[in-house]
Chain A
Amino acid sequence: MTKIGVGIVETKYFTFANKPDEFVLESKEKLSPVTIAYETYGALNKEKSNAVLILHALSGDAHAAGFHKGEDKPGWWDNMIGPGRAFDTDKYFVICSNVLSGCRGSTGPASYNPKTNKPYALDFPIVSIGDMVSAQKALIDYLGIDKLLTVVGGSMGGMQVLSWLIKYPQNIRSAIPIATALRHTPQQIAFDEVGRQAIMADPDWNSGNYYEGNSPDRGLAVARMIGHITYMSDISMTEKFGRQKKDNKQPFKFTADFEVEGYLRYRGDNFVKRFDANSYLYITKAMDNFDASEKKPFHESLSGKSVKVLVIAFKSDWLYPAYQSKEIVKACKYAGIETSYCEIDSTYGHDAFLLEIQEETHLISHFLKSVSQKRGKA
């Protein structure tokens, strides 16, 4: 990994489905217009064959790499994107967009509803993972790209990868689902539901109509705290915090004495500064509703498609356990798709997809090289 990344970057915006056009969702509800926030790194080659689409997880956004002007925190997958990194911007044109129903520049419940001139709030239609992907497809079309070299993402990003495989297999040459699942189990839905209930139990939530008053920060912070617990592992928490106390002062009742408490509070409080509570509800619901085998068995969707797949899972991930990734692999095997699978021996839990950079870089860079070469041969 080189130290110099992509440098200063800027988020761009693509608006489509302007009146009289409408963007029709899988629920048959319509949105108009739709804006998608996106960033790009590197350059599209003449053949337009080197484009990589990065798909973010629940709390991610379009800012995957580099720095926004005046900020000191890089994008969420910065150590994977840049010259000499896994997604080598000297070779590949890297695109990352904020999902539909998000709150980081793309149309979502906090956006203005042109019909009422107020934020949509709960008037915003239910959005599916497939809808997010259709909006990404519109962006890719707008950028003039017919076939992506790969689509890649972890967690909810991985669900979008699976949805790309189902909806637009002819527009991708390969796919990299990481730490994800064909569908949520009741346990995964349960954690999401607790998060949603925390938001909805906050009196400031006000049935979603809070944009002119106080936002439900306490509820959203608790939702994020629950999330963070599920992203770590028993081992990674013990290694990171132990039973360390923050200071030796005589404790006041129920302050954040343990380091882990302080960490969760800090994470929760920070999250509310950049995330919209209603978006959290819509996006987690989209994840819960997703089922790669909903219309037909996933292996049937893959059957006969000429696409290469790299599946990555992590040993200590208990939120998206490796057996769920193996189900994706099984479908690929049954469909006769050329597939690689690696279960990385990590202690980081679900967060590993953001942290096991060395192993992911090795797997992904070589995989992309072989996908690129395959085209050269044909």
Chain B
Amino acid sequence: MKENETIKSDHRAILDMVEANSSVLDLGCGDGDLLELLMLKKNVRGQGIEIDEQAIYRCVAKGLSVLHGDIDTGLSEYKDNAFDYVILNQSLQQLKHVETVLFDALRVGKKVIVGFPNFAYCRARLRLFFRGRVPITASLPYTWYETPNLHFLSTLDFLDYCKEKKIKVERKVYLAADKRILILPNFFANIGIFLISK
């Protein structure tokens, strides 16, 4: 079992949002660190979907159930409310069809947890404003020519969107440098994590 110190702060925030003994679908689960953590600490029934073949091998080595495939086409076969939680952690901004996947996630999961890098983070603003360069920050570490991100949004953009689409925002967690941000989060946080439902 992992020690608390080594748990990434976004994983810890998600761990807090998930109830014990629930079922979880992690979209873009990567190496399966978050799912493994949820299974160990919250005894969840976990299922991952991941596009990278090598990541599949690492997930399977952790004893996880994981499907090799594309999130953009991966949700349609699931029944309504098939999972207690659907997690889109650091994968929302890389989707081709954000809206389709988000609404399918809200259909398949009773609740959805979304985590993404905040484009309006202060350091990103400074880099863009003073240096005239596209932001490269801890949560947005890629150069323009190698980024897998297709969508750039701030935490306020996301909240506006939820309001417009009548998506309930049940919990909001803002993070920067492993700390919770409570004041002016759209300025000081580089990661936003939201628990949403229909």
Answer whether A343 and B57 are a contact pair too, CB < 8 Å, given A333-B78, A366-B63: no
Number of A-B contacts (CB under 8 A): 53
B159 vs chain A, min Cβ distance (A): 31
- Contact between chains at A370 and B82 (CB < 8 Å): no
Q: Which interface class (under 10, 10 to 19, 20 to 34, 35 or more) fits A?
A: 20 to 34
Determine whether B94 belongs to the interface, using a CB cutoff of 8 Å to chain A. Answer: no
A329 contact set on B, CB distance < 8 A: 67, 69
Answer whether A334 and B67 are a contact pair too, CB < 8 Å, given A359-B57, A362-B61: no
Interface residues of A in 320-378 (CB under 8 A from B): 326, 329-330, 333-334, 336, 338-345, 359, 362-363, 366-367, 369-370, 373
B46 vs chain A, min Cβ distance (A): 9
Name the residue of chain B whose CB is nearest to the CB of A303: B79
A363 contact set on B, CB distance < 8 A: 57, 60
Separation of A344 and B61 alpha carbons in the complex (Å): 15
8 contacts between A and B (CB under 8 A): A308-B65, A334-B77, A334-B79, A341-B67, A359-B57, A363-B57, A367-B60, A370-B64
Separation of A141 and B67 alpha carbons in the complex (Å): 33
Name the residue of chain B whose CB is nearest to the CB of A336: B82
Task: Give which listed residue, B53, B63, B68, contacts A370 with CB less than 8 A.
Answer: B63
Task: Give which listed residue, A339, A343, A369, contacts B65 with CB less than 8 A.
Answer: A339
Separation of A340 and B21 alpha carbons in the complex (Å): 20
A330 contact set on B, CB distance < 8 A: 77
B57 vs chain A, min Cβ distance (A): 6
B contact face: mostly helix, strand, loop, or mixed: mixed
A373 vs chain B, min Cβ distance (A): 7
A308 contact set on B, CB distance < 8 A: 65
Q: How many residues of B contact A (CB 8 A)?
A: 19
- Contact between chains at B69 and A341 (CB < 8 Å): yes
Determine whether B47 belongs to the interface, using a CB cutoff of 8 Å to chain A. Answer: yes
- Contact between chains at A340 and B60 (CB < 8 Å): yes
A300 vs chain B, min Cβ distance (A): 12
Closest 4 CB pairs of A and B: A370-B63, A333-B77, A338-B65, A330-B77
A340 contact set on B, CB distance < 8 A: 56, 59-60, 64-67
Determine whether B45 belongs to the interface, using a CB cutoff of 8 Å to chain A. Answer: yes
B82 contact set on A, CB distance < 8 A: 336
Answer whether A345 and B69 are a contact pair too, CB < 8 Å, given A338-B45, A338-B47, A366-B61: no
Name the residue of chain A whose CB is nearest to the CB of B56: A342
A326 contact set on B, CB distance < 8 A: 69
| A31-45 interface bits toward B, Cβ cutoff 8 Å, 1 = contact, 0 = none | 000000000000000
Answer whether A345 and B77 are a contact pair too, CB < 8 Å, given A326-B69, A362-B61: no
- Contact between chains at B47 and A342 (CB < 8 Å): no
- Contact between chains at B53 and A362 (CB < 8 Å): no
- Contact between chains at A343 and B53 (CB < 8 Å): yes
Separation of A229 and B78 alpha carbons in the complex (Å): 37
Interface residues of B in 26-71 (CB under 8 A from A): 45, 47, 53, 56-57, 59-61, 63-69
Separation of A340 and B49 alpha carbons in the complex (Å): 9
A125 vs chain B, min Cβ distance (A): 37
Name the residue of chain B whose CB is nearest to the CB of A299: B77
Separation of A154 and B46 alpha carbons in the complex (Å): 27
A341 contact set on B, CB distance < 8 A: 66-69
Separation of A339 and B64 alpha carbons in the complex (Å): 9
- Contact between chains at A339 and B67 (CB < 8 Å): yes
B85 vs chain A, min Cβ distance (A): 15
Separation of A343 and B79 alpha carbons in the complex (Å): 24
Task: Give which listed residue, B59, B63, B67, B77, contacts A369 with CB less than 8 A.
Answer: B63
Separation of A338 and B60 alpha carbons in the complex (Å): 12
A317 vs chain B, min Cβ distance (A): 14
Interface residues of B in 148-165 (CB under 8 A from A): none
Answer whether A362 and B57 are a contact pair too, CB < 8 Å, given A334-B77, A334-B79, A338-B47: yes
Name the residue of chain A whose CB is nearest to the CB of B59: A340
Name the residue of chain B whose CB is nearest to the CB of A344: B53
- Contact between chains at B63 and A339 (CB < 8 Å): no
A334 contact set on B, CB distance < 8 A: 77-79
- Contact between chains at B77 and A342 (CB < 8 Å): no
A168 vs chain B, min Cβ distance (A): 22
B69 contact set on A, CB distance < 8 A: 326, 329, 341
Besides A333-B78, A334-B78, A338-B65, 16 new A-B residue pairs in contact (Cβ under 8 A), listed by A number: A333-B67, A334-B77, A340-B56, A340-B59, A340-B64, A340-B65, A341-B68, A342-B53, A342-B60, A343-B53, A343-B68, A344-B53, A362-B57, A366-B61, A369-B63, A370-B64
